[in-house]
Each structure stands twice: as structure tokens, then as C-alpha cells.
Amino acid sequence: MIVQGTVMVKMGRRFLAATDDAQRQDVVSLYRGLRLFDQGIDLAFDTFFFLGWILLAFAMLSHRNFGKVFGLIGIILFGAAAVLNAWSAPTPPSFEMSAIVCLWVLAVFVQMLRAAKTSPSISQSMSA
């Protein structure tokens, strides 16, 4: 977001400060080139982000407090979101899965709190 915002703001200012059409065209050309780098960074971040959540969900498959239900749902949700984002890149996908994914993350947090309450080592340290 920092790169995207900086490119848009700086190039917008340069465009407004341009005194003739030739300068404006130069700014637009530079902006298009910088957007290619920006979109590459965005795609790399999306890959890192989705892969991290998929690996977390994969680790949940064998965890006693989360199990196959949380793990499989997470793998499916983040796998589908990754495919949608990669397919529609560089523009955002037409179907946004963030609301569904947020519900899953909320359920994971609630389950973490439930697991922490029943864990003897965490319960003892919280009461101390």
C-alpha cells in the first residue's frame, strides 16, 4: 500500500505541475512504468499472504484443538481467494471473499481462546 500510494500521489502531483502536454505525457508514461513494478510487488505480497494462511490452515489439520474442519475450510477459502486474485491480477477480483474469510478468522480466534482456557499451562500463567 505504501508503494501504491506513493506512486499515485507523487505522479498525480507531477501531472498537475506539468506545464504542457509533452510533460504530462512523460508523467503518464513514467506512471505506467512504475505501476508495473507496483503490481509486481502487490502480486508477490498476495502470494506470500495467501500461502502463509494456507500453511497455517494445513498445520491445523493435525492439531487437536482445530482439526480437519478448521484446516480444510481454511485451505479451501484461502486457496480459492488466491486463485481468484491471481486470475484477475492486476485488478481486484469481481467476487471478493474477504467477508467469508474474516468469519473463518474470527472462528479461529474464538477457538484459540477456548483452547487457551482449557490448556493447563496457559490457565496457570493467566491466574498467577
Domain boundaries, the chain: 2-120
Write down the pLDDT at residue 126.
56
Q: Give 61-76 pLDDT, tens digit per residue.
A: 999 999 999 999 999 9
Distance, CA of 121 to CA of 23 (rounded, Å): 66
pTM of the model: 0.73
Q: Give 96-124 pLDDT, tens digit per residue.
A: 888 999 999 999 999 999 988 887 765 56
State how far the alpha carbon of 120 is from the alpha carbons of 75, 108, 116, 125, in Å: 29, 20, 8, 9
Angle between helix 2-17 and helix 21-60 axes, rounded to 10 deg = 170
